[in-house]
């Protein structure tokens, strides 16, 4: 049973609930895999083996007593270092937060524990979770296990690299501008950004978030199969009164027509040929699964949504963010803030009011569009995953990266769910597509994702490539 780490979360949880294997055996296999491959990719930056084994023993004890082991009984999962996990530092990739030790769990950690998951380790992110690359001054660089010359993505780069390499069966990530969807894309796994209000969030160890992150940042799962994303979403989304934005929405909504829109160049995005090919193939897979797919010239406004999202994310409290980045001294975080200064600063009360007012209009337009087309297929990025640290080469490269990520930045402004489905490889470089649906219709994203996945290569963990 030493290869238990290769199984899907659903398979492993079933074996543990039926007592065919123990949670302890699964934990030992997961820790062995971590020890074997993490040194070459630096995806997990903090873990405590004795605590992992103790959590597994507690699950085995429940099952032995005839109690319910939970949806994720004994499944090893990883947690991103930017949310609270009791007894661990909520560093968010920062030296200045090395001593910010959480005294309680974030709701998503509590929910995973209630579902029987075992917390395997803490995964890396860039400083302040600002970038689509993963390096910082406290934990170092994370490498993409498929190809170390390309980014593992960011900001949940450690999460994407870990789950791709078989370190854990499900990875927790967060997303305010692509931070789940892009690491999944770059590492060749799947990643779900849920609707704002679906998964409860709160970090008691950190100051309250400004309004931009409150209405656009989410936690969500990365995994190797769509089925694992589905069960992870169910586990993560349980009620928690600490989040005033949480909504008791059903995981399954009303039946909608199997109708999808396919847009190769939303907002005039200069989409790479390989990405267009992946989208066209995904559309054909949907058709083979009984969906009607219509190619459209454009979507409701994306460029404006991306501009406003960037202002809410980086502009609201810009001077305080810049001061913190200067204290940290991280050159990549400073480049992100300084490179966007002209776009986001100054951001006064009138600008904030205008952005929130305009948001209502854009949410309405997108909701009406997604009523007609329940699912939308668009690029995750205009390009294949970037060369690692591309944004730090020069000003032109910085601009190129930000322009390519239009769809990742825009979708959070409306609070919509978005799913990255990994579809194939170009050489050894992953490519995939993004599936968008209406608010609280993650079920439609997942249904379309399962159809696309079913005609591709089954997801399985890989050994890191040197």
Catalytic residue selected from 106, 129, 156, 179: 179
Question: What is the token pair recorded at 234?
Answer: 């169910």
Task: Answer yes or no: 454 catalytic.
Answer: no
Task: Answer yes or no: 155 catalytic.
Answer: yes
CA distance 27 to 49: 9
CA distance 361 to 414: 10
- The single residue listed with the structure tokens 């399985």 is 460
Task: Answer yes or no: 114 catalytic.
Answer: no
Burial class (CB in 10 A: 0-12, 13-18, 19+), 319: exposed
Nearest to 79 by CA among 124, 33, 48, 37: 124
Cβ atoms of 105 and 71 within 8 Å: the answer is no
Question: What is the token pair recorded at 228?
Answer: 């694992």
Catalytic residue selected from 22, 129, 155, 216: 155
End-to-end CA distance of the chain: 27
Catalytic residue selected from 8, 22, 80, 143: 80
Cβ atoms of 403 and 145 within 8 Å: the answer is no
CA distance 427 to 430: 8
CA distance 245 to 118: 27
Question: What is the token pair recorded at 267?
Answer: 């907002």
Catalytic positions: 80, 155, 179
């Amino acid at each position: 049973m030493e290869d238990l780490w290769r199984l899907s979360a659903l398979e492993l949880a079933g074996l543990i609930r039926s007592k065919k294997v123990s949670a302890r055996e699964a934990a030992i296999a997961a820790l062995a895999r971590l020890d074997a491959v993490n040194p070459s990719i630096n995806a997990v930056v903090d873990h405590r083996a004795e605590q992992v084994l103790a959590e597994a023993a507690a699950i085995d004890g429940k099952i032995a007593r005839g109690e319910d082991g939970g949806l994720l009984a004994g499944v090893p999962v990883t947690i991103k270092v930017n949310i609270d996990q009791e007894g661990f530092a909520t560093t968010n990739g920062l030296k200045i937060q090395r001593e910010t030790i959480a005294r309680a769990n974030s709701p998503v950690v509590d929910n995973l524990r209630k579902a029987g998951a075992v917390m395997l380790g803490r995964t890396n992110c860039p400083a302040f979770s600002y970038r689509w690359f993963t390096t910082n001054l406290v934990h170092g660089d994370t490498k993409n296990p498929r190809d170390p010359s390309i980014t593992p993505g960011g900001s949940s780069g450690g999460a994407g690299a870990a789950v791709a390499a078989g370190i854990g069966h499900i990875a927790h990530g967060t997303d305010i501008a692509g931070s789940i969807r892009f690491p999944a894309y770059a590492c060749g796994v799947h990643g779900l950004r849920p609707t704002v209000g679906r998964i409860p969030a709160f970090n008691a160890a950190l100051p309250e978030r400004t309004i931009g992150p409150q209405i656009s940042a989410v936690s969500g799962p990365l995994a190797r199969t769509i089925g694992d994303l589905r069960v992870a979403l169910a586990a993560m989304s349980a009620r928690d009164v600490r989040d005033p934005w949480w909504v008791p929405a059903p995981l399954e909504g009303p039946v909608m027509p199997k109708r999808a829109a396919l847009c190769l160049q939303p907002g005039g995005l200069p989409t790479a040929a390989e990405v267009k090919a992946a989208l066209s193939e995904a559309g054909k897979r949907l058709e083979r699964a009984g969906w009607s797919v219509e190619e459209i010239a454009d979507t409701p406004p994306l460029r404006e949504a991306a501009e406003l999202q960037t202002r809410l994310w980086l502009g609201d409290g810009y001077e305080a963010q810049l001061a913190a980045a200067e204290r940290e001294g991280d050159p990549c975080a400073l480049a992100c803030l300084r490179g966007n200064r002209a776009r986001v600063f100054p951001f006064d009360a009138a600008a904030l009011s205008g952005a929130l007012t305009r948001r209502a209009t854009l949410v309405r337009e997108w909701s009406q569009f997604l009523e007609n087309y329940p699912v939308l297929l668009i690029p995750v990025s205009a390009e294949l995953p970037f060369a690692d640290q591309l944004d730090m080469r020069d000003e032109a490269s910085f601009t190129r990266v930000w322009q390519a990520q239009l769809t990742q930045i825009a979708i959070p402004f409306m609070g919509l769910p978005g799913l990255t489905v990994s579809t194939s490889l170009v050489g050894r470089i992953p490519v995939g597509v993004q599936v968008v649906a209406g608010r609280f219709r993650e079920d439609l994203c997942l249904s379309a994702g399962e159809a696309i996945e079913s005609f591709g290569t089954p997801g399985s963990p890989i050994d890191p490539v040197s």
